[in-house]
Amino acid sequence: MRDATLHIIGTGPGDPELLTLKALKTLTACPVIAAPKASPSGSSTALAIISQAVDLDGKTVFELYFPMKKIRAGKAPEEEVSRAWRAAAATIIACLDQGLDVAFPTLGDPAIYSTGYYLYDTLLSMRPDIRVRFHAGIPAMSCCSAETAMPICLGNEMLAVVPATFSDERLRSTLEAFDTIVLMKVHRVLPRICRLLEETGLLAKAVLIERAGMEGERIIRDLSTIPENPHYFSTMIIRRNGGFQAPWSRDRQQAGPIPADVSAM
């Protein structure tokens, strides 16, 4: 029997047009899709993204539970978490052992706060012979940058990408040390973050991007009023040196639609 491969594939940040051609080709070719979901009864965001671009008819589709718990790099996770990771890995190994290639789509890029590497690590500990390939995806922060015409780092600027759920102390020292700070997972802690930015004089330098590149996208540059109930797909870019904004504004809604010949590609 041929050796099958697990493909860990970045889906990009939500807009199916931001899947790479390689992701599309690999997802189409794999007979099994194993997609992560954050709650046992919920559904997979990554699966929802790829299903807008890939025909899933005839494929075996699994939604595998990956609990959303704090993970500390280099430390073993809680028992509930490692049990779920092992169960997910076992499902995938069973398919690979039948010679079936498996695609594991994951939001954005697999290298940035993604379940992809936890799965990889678990698989290696269970079956070091398993073949795995990673496929880069467009990170959410790149899409947020594009939607706001806000560069992430230029020249000698330094960038930090951190979860907004860090302690105030850790965030404060990051805000002091870097020129651009990208805050991920900002949705649950927005009031605390806005207070911290006000204290550090950076509130006017921050932009919140909700559902970047997707239906219902919101770009909020004035954070003096804290937006209510931000979506899970929310990222903040704080740029000490400010952004660039053409007088007619670069926000997509105001800049006009993408030309037909481009959006039809």
For residue 241, the minimal CB distance to ligand SAM (Å) is: 22
Contacts of residue 253, Cβ cutoff 8 Å, sequence gap at least 6: none
Q: Is 249 helix (H, G, I), strand (E, B) or coil?
A: coil
Q: Which residues of 232-246 are buried (b: 16+ CB within 10 A; e: fewer)?
A: ebbbbbbbeeebeee
Exposed, middle or buried: residue 107 (CB in 10 Å: 0-12, 13-18, 19+)? Answer: buried
- Nearer to ligand SAM by C-beta: 50 or 140? 140
- Nearer to ligand SAM by C-beta: 106 or 122? 106
- Nearer to ligand SAM by C-beta: 4 or 109? 109
For residue 238, the minimal CB distance to ligand SAM (Å) is: 13
CA 208 to chain centre: 15
For residue 73, the minimal CB distance to ligand SAM (Å) is: 15
Write the CA distances from 154 to 84, 151, 180, 209, integer angstroms: 41, 7, 10, 20
Binding site for ligand SAM (CB under 6 A): 13-14, 107-109, 112-114, 139-140, 144, 184-186, 209, 211-214, 232-235
Write the CA distances from 28 to 43, 61, 103, integer angstroms: 21, 13, 9
CA 27 to chain centre: 18
For residue 146, the minimal CB distance to ligand SAM (Å) is: 11
- Nearer to ligand SAM by C-beta: 4 or 110? 110
For residue 231, the minimal CB distance to ligand SAM (Å) is: 8
Rounded Cα gap, residues 189 and 169, in angstroms: 15
For residue 127, the minimal CB distance to ligand SAM (Å) is: 25
Other Cβ atoms within 10 Å of 64 Cβ, number: 20
107: left (phi over 0), alpha (psi -120 to 50) or beta: beta
Rounded Cα gap, residues 229 and 188, in angstroms: 8
Chain position whose Cβ is nearest to ligand SAM: 108
- Nearer to ligand SAM by C-beta: 172 or 185? 185
For residue 98, the minimal CB distance to ligand SAM (Å) is: 29
Both tokens assigned to 265: 């590609």
Count H helices and E strands in the chain, helices first: 9, 10
For residue 211, the minimal CB distance to ligand SAM (Å) is: 5
- Nearer to ligand SAM by C-beta: 31 or 163? 163
- Nearer to ligand SAM by C-beta: 95 or 190? 190
Q: Amino acid identity, residue 185? A: K
- Nearer to ligand SAM by C-beta: 105 or 108? 108
